[in-house]
A and B are shown apart, each in its own frame.
Chain A
Amino acid sequence: MSFIELKDVVKEYKTGEVSIKAVDGISLNIEKGEFVVIVGPSGAGKTTVLNILGGMDTLTSGSVIIDGTDISQYNSRNLTTYRRYDIGFVFQFYNLVPNLTAKENVELANQISKNPLDAETVLEEVGLKDRMNNFPAQLSGGEQQRVAIARALAKNPKMLLCDEPTGALDYNTGKSILKLLQDTCREKKMTVIVITHNQAIAPMADRIFKIKNGQVSDMKINENPMPVEQIEW
């Protein structure tokens, strides 16, 4: 059994008479410690998949089994617990709490986790040793994203879910963030799932899913993933 198993997942949005299927029967398996890239054009449903995977959204039908547990029937409180202990999120727009310093943003996550990592150590690992006491507004976009990753990692989650983590960053910064994610996956054996519309970064992944119109159009296992430094786009 795989670490993550999605079976016939359907997510339907209803507004009055109209119903739209954002996810239309997706099934996919992901193994522990893999670096996964999900690519697809905007509106394909990849974010919805990630939201379902991360317990931010419920599904209409199908099942989602994470580490042997089916979360598809979870209520809102169970989903919160699931997010609390098992999931680390990284977003396109960082979503740091503006009023807290880098370190405090990490501590915010720490304080609710079971086995959190030390905030300062994690920040050091993401390369922010000297910026710990700065507020988000005093940090560059790349630095803010590093704080966001540190915050996700410090919770010591089962997996890291990243939604367009480089979307708001320039080429070089974006690359360094991807490297950080890839290194984290390799060194900590952390399952990392990255969503992107950028096909070019697919070669760095262990496993690639292509999503189109709410369905998986292609799945590829990459035996020799490339280090991100060697990828150009």
Chain B
Amino acid sequence: MKAIRKEFYAEIKKTKNRFISILIIVALGVAIYTGICSTEPDMRLSADKFYDDGNLMDIRVMSDTGITEALVSELEGIDGVKLALGSFQGDYINRMGDIEGVVSVQSYTDGINEPLLSEGSLPESTNQCIVEASYADNYGLKIGDSITLSSGNEIPIEMTLRENQFEITGIYTTPYYIGVDRGTTSIGNGKIDGVIMVNGDVFLQTVYTSCYITVDGAKEEEAYTDEYSELVDGVKEKIEEYLESMEGAFYVLDRNSIQTYVEFDQDAERIGNIGKVVPAIFFIVAALVSLTTMTRMVEEQRTQIGTLKALGYTKGEAAGKYIKYGLLASSAGSLLGGIIGSIFLPRVIIDAYKMLYCLEDILTPINGFYFVFACVLAVALVTAATIFSCYRELMDNPAALMRPEPPKKTKKVFLEYIPFIWKRINFSGKSTIRNLVRYKKRLFMTLFGISGCMALLVVGFGVKDSISSVVGIQYDELHIYDIVLSVSGNMSEENRAGIEETLGADENIRDYMFLRNSSLTVKKDEESLTAYIYVAEDTDKLNDFIKLRDRNTHNEYELSDNEVMLSEKAAGELDVKEGDVIALSLGGAEEYRVTVGKIVENYVYHNIYMSSSMYQELIGDVSYNEIIISLTEEGKANEEAVIEELLKYDGVSGASYVDKLRDKFEDMLGSMDVIVAVIIIAAGGLAFVVLYNLNNININERKRELATLKVLGFYDIEVSSYIYRENIIITVIGIAVGALLGIVLHKFVIITAEVDMVMFGRDVFPLSFVWSGLLTALFAVITNLSMHYKMKKIDMATSLKSVE
């Protein structure tokens, strides 16, 4: 067997391009598969690390009447409870210059839901606080700054807090808020902007708002696993049992009550879903590339197989070389791809997701299951393809194998039976068409490779388009106002008249409108979600500020007095169709049933639009809490001055610029570039490997034909273009097919990857098709050019003399 082994290594050396191309395509497939699939567990793992670092609560107990110190210690006594801590919380208005927002003030709990300080130190006295990082970032807060709070309802702040001014001593993150959303509140505009943490004795209440509990052994379990849930559920039941005997209503909640905790899990799952489809393209291509490459290799070596069989080697021994070849190339590729894929790809993807989540560390260990699964799958596919390609040759008897392969029969192609068309095609056109039909396998493989590349590129660029639609369409076409002024709902007539006078007189202001904008819960059947309701004082003017239109037809709708309009994403989540009835809940016990007249285009958050008279009739007096303003072109230039003027009025509590929101989203987009780049590299790799391989096989198979052309006196460029003509046609068809494939794949990826609060655009921009097409064509051109030199090197004399 020594001679055979020697021959085997010599073969690899001789055909290193072939070996490497199998290796690369396998590596690509395995890398993409393990990479995207590992992202799901890696996201959870990274989150778990964060949860553990901050000792995220496992259970939270709340009661309408509060939680007494005594109850906390009793809860701690329950079997399975590791630690129970009481916590104070309250929502207050924070005014910083022009801007007013709602902050949730929470007491520091040592051991559960701990703040992870990124800078500074914990508060030591009652007039100090720490601020969570995203709030500090958004509002430019630094250590040493101070925050002044005021009450958002009728209870004066002195009744609930010892101090109302706090000096910032530190900036922190907390696993309790892994996402962007901080929840809703009954004060201000209904939305919590940020969280600050103070010492417990700042609060004047005698009972805790809630009790945080950690469970024995839960920290050691990984979050989101069944093991974790079982452990916590057991303790949760015991707590519930214990509380049943008590007076008053208690709520025992687990981590699933934390919205962002659940959302994070869902997002991880979404990525995992993408991982189950997109890599399939690479696996199929890897299998096909191996199939054609190995088939060609076996065909080239018919005689050698025949010789071995004639010498008395068994079929298995004769085929062994090829199987070993495929095995070696695919295992090397799998290992390489698996390692790169499971370490780097999840990092890139999670990094891009980081704009939505705050994670301390990203953990990307090699995920055993996906790694092994992908490797085994890839090696099995390549080996199966190899065995399949050997099979036919091995079945022939040695004598037949030693003879040259009989030429393949050529048939007339379909078009030839239509003389009307066939006659009109020139000579080279005819031969091109026949060649395409003759080498069907190659035609389809190449088509598959090119359309796969094109489709991936369309997805890559399309994902970016979809997200940029959010910014572009939402803020340029739908919400076409520039400033949102927060005003007090119970402003005096006098005050209002003053503001209106200023607004009307200011030349910078094109138009303005009073608006009610607050959050509420929308329900249909068992499903519910949080949405913002928009009620314009002057319903007829609504469309001047907020376009209510159909996404596809762009037909604009007028709001009627007996129906509401719901944003598209919300309608999708709740499975609401036009004409369906939904229930609205404003926080109280009462639910209002309304009919959805139209479903309208909207990308950010869930919105519901209602006319003011309908609101009046259904819910009651509308208290307008916002003035939305659109500016003239000059006005946009001196936005700041306009706002400063308006903020002087009592009752105007803050202003925000739509442009700032827009900028925030654009920053988000920047991080998507990485994902697009990864996709482009993967698509390029795919295109190169497939095209290089198939072109190589094509040229080897047709060496004789090409040598004949050379002998006849075809110049090098004419010989190349003889092959190029076929490739150009395949490339053009491939790009067209890939564009269609890409549209479908893009839609799938977008719908799967979408986060709850945002609807990504559904369309790929025309320019993206152009770029994808150009890049695909570029990849094709590069491979074709490299083939030119290969064709140039074909030696006429040897190619023509031999029998093949």
Contacts and interface: CB of A to CB of B under 8 A. Distances in A.
Interface in B415-446: 427-428, 430-431, 434-435, 438
Nearest to B437: A99
Contacts, number: 88
A112 B717 CA distance: 13
Instruction: Report the contact-size class of chain B (Cβ under 8 Å from the partner).
Output: 20 to 34
Contacts of B797: 47, 51, 56-57
A109 B797 CA distance: 18
Interface residues of A, number: 37
A136 to B, nearest CB: 7
B708 interface: yes
Contacts of B435: 99
B771 interface: no
A80 B705 contact: no
Contact of B409 (A57, A81, A85, A137): A137
Contact of A100 (B431, B716, B718): B431
B464 interface: no
A111 B407 contact: no
Nearest to A86: B713
A120 B796 CA distance: 28
Given A56-B711, A95-B708, A95-B800, A112 B718 contact: yes
A97 interface: yes
Contacts of B716: 76-77, 80
A107 B430 CA distance: 12
Contact of B408 (A81, A98, A108): A98
Interface string B371-414: 00000000000000000000000000000000000011110000
Contacts of A57: 797
B803 interface: yes
Contacts of B431: 97, 99-100, 104, 108
Contacts of A136: 407, 410
A108 B712 contact: yes
Nearest to A133: B412
B5 interface: no
B712 A91 contact: no
A76 B793 CA distance: 11
A92 to B, nearest CB: 7
B725 to A, nearest CB: 13
A150 interface: no
A47 B242 CA distance: 103
Nearest to A81: B713
A215 B714 CA distance: 32
Given A112-B712, A135-B410, A137-B410, A91 B434 contact: no
A26 interface: no
A77 B715 contact: yes
Nearest to A77: B715
Interface string B691-721: 0000000000000110111111111101000
Interface string A81-115: 11111010101110111111000100111011000
A155 interface: yes
Interface in B122-143: none
Q: Which of A98, A109, A155: most chain B CB closer than 10 A?
A: A98
Interface string A177-217: 00000000000000000000000000000000000000000
A141 B796 CA distance: 22
A98 B800 contact: no
Contacts of B408: 98, 137
Chain B at the A interface: SS class = helix
Contacts of A84: 712-715
A23 to B, nearest CB: 13
B801 interface: yes
A80 B409 contact: no
Contacts of B410: 98-99, 135-137
Interface in A42-85: 47, 51, 54, 56-57, 76-77, 80-85
A54 B708 CA distance: 13
Contacts of A80: 710, 713-716
Contacts of A87: 713
A109 B409 CA distance: 22
A57 B410 CA distance: 32
A85 B705 CA distance: 19
Nearest to A152: B712
A112 B713 contact: yes
A12 B326 CA distance: 40
A83 B410 CA distance: 29
Nearest to B438: A99
A111 B408 CA distance: 26
A83 B713 CA distance: 5
Nearest to B714: A112
Given A57-B797, A91-B800, A83 B434 contact: no
A98 B708 contact: no
Contacts of A155: 712-713
Given A56-B711, A85-B713, A99-B435, A92 B407 contact: no
B710 to A, nearest CB: 7
B427 A107 contact: yes
Nearest to A83: B713
Contacts of B409: 135, 137-138
Interface in B642-688: none
Contacts of A112: 712-714, 718
B434 A100 contact: yes
Q: Which of B435, B438, B800: most chain A CB closer than 10 A?
A: B800
B427 A95 contact: no
Given A104-B427, A137-B408, A97 B715 contact: no
A97 B803 CA distance: 14
A47 B427 contact: no
A91 B718 CA distance: 22
A93 B800 contact: yes
Contacts of B707: 95
B713 A97 contact: no
B715 A109 contact: no
A19 to B, nearest CB: 18
Contacts of B713: 80-85, 87, 112, 155
16 contacts: A51-B796, A76-B716, A77-B715, A80-B710, A83-B713, A84-B714, A91-B801, A93-B801, A95-B704, A95-B707, A97-B709, A98-B407, A99-B435, A107-B427, A111-B427, A137-B410
Interface of B: 407-410, 427-428, 430-431, 434-435, 438, 704-705, 707-716, 718, 796-797, 800-801, 803
Q: Which 6 A-B pairs have the closest CB atoms?
A: A84-B713, A83-B713, A135-B410, A95-B708, A137-B407, A56-B796
